[in-house]
Amino acid sequence: MTNETWGQVREELIKRVGKNNYVTWIEPLRLADLHEGVARFEVPTVFFGDWVQRNYADHIRTELVSAGASVDRVEFALGNGAVPVASPAKPVAKAARPRAALAEDLPGAPLDARFTFDSFVVGKPNELAHAAARRVAEGGPVTFNPLFLYGGVGLGKTHLMHAIAHELHKRSPGLSVLYLSAEQFMYRFVQALRERQVMDFKSLFRSVDVLMVDDVQFIAGKDSTQEEFFHTFNALVDLNKQIVISADRAPGEIKDLEDRIKSRLQCGLVVDLHPTDY
């Protein structure tokens, strides 16, 4: 198979997986060789290869076959070829999602044990917000993505986000739920840039089952952080992973937040919280 053929396949993969996923996961691949029905690609990290194997290997093989290549399977290895990535014949979900490492590298913000659904005072004005949070906390199929909660200080946004995380942990202990502030997201991204570990940052953040970001207005005006947040958001939505976001105002009212991010945040369910009538 020639590089020209692979170039044609890449064009088809953009249509199949979407531009953002293509740029993040397909574009870095380098075709090494095609021999005896096995297409081999070089990847930047083992974690990267595991992720592509689990989520995109079938798409790649299908498009290669459609382009006339005789391919039975695809394999991924580091650039020097020394460390092969897990074979598709083996279950790779656990290998591709090292939860212990994820918990260590991305501990997120601590959850307040007091912030549960039982301790949340609903009140008539916040029935919708409470019901939506409850629905997300039940897990299962993603109904709306993202759930966007907004309102002033002290109205219960953070309380509901903590309650969702607590309930998800209780119902599904093995679920990877990451809750953190937008400031923490930015700090970790800047740290990854400084240490030249951006690919690891991408891999780790896009491996979670549920991403919860509090006070997203904090990233407004921060171009590089917004760029990474945008691609992380799209990658998780494309993988049907749940996202929960909070802010002090509606998406369209956040000054200096990119229009494309505002548009994404408005695609799910946007709910405002109000002072409760006691």
Q: Tokens in use for 50?
A: 């595991």
Q: Residue 277: pLDDT band by 50, 70, 90 thresholds?
A: low
Question: What domains are there in the chain, each with its CATH number?
Answer: 3-96 (3.30.300.180), 104-272 (3.40.50.300)
Average pLDDT for 1-19: 84
Confidence at residue 80, expressed as pLDDT on a 0 to 100 scale: 57
Q: 35 has which bridge partners?
A: 38
Q: How far is CA 49 from CA 20, 40, 59, 90, 107, in A?
A: 17, 11, 14, 14, 24
If one compares 271 and 79, the residue with the highest pLDDT of the two is 271
pLDDT in tens, 36-70: 889 999 987 776 777 788 888 999 999 999 988 88
Q: What is the pTM of this model?
A: 0.64
Q: Residue 217: pLDDT band by 50, 70, 90 thresholds?
A: very high
Q: Mean pLDDT score of the chain, rounded to an integer?
A: 83
Confidence at residue 221, expressed as pLDDT on a 0 to 100 scale: 94
Q: Is the pLDDT of residue 180 over 60?
A: yes
Q: Apex CA 64: angle with CA 59 and CA 65, to 5°?
A: 100
| Residue ranges of E strands in the chain | 30-35, 38-43, 73-78, 147-150, 177-181, 210-214, 242-247, 269-272
Q: Residue 228: pLDDT band by 50, 70, 90 thresholds?
A: very high
Confidence at residue 20, expressed as pLDDT on a 0 to 100 scale: 67
**In this structure, what are the phi and psi dihedrals at residue 61, rounded to the nearest 5 degrees?**
-60, -45
Q: For the chain, how are helix, strand and coil distributed in percent, rounded to 5? A: 50, 15, 35
pLDDT in tens, 117-151: 999 888 888 888 888 899 999 888 887 889 999 99
Distance separating alpha carbons of residues 65 and 21, to the nearest angstrom: 21
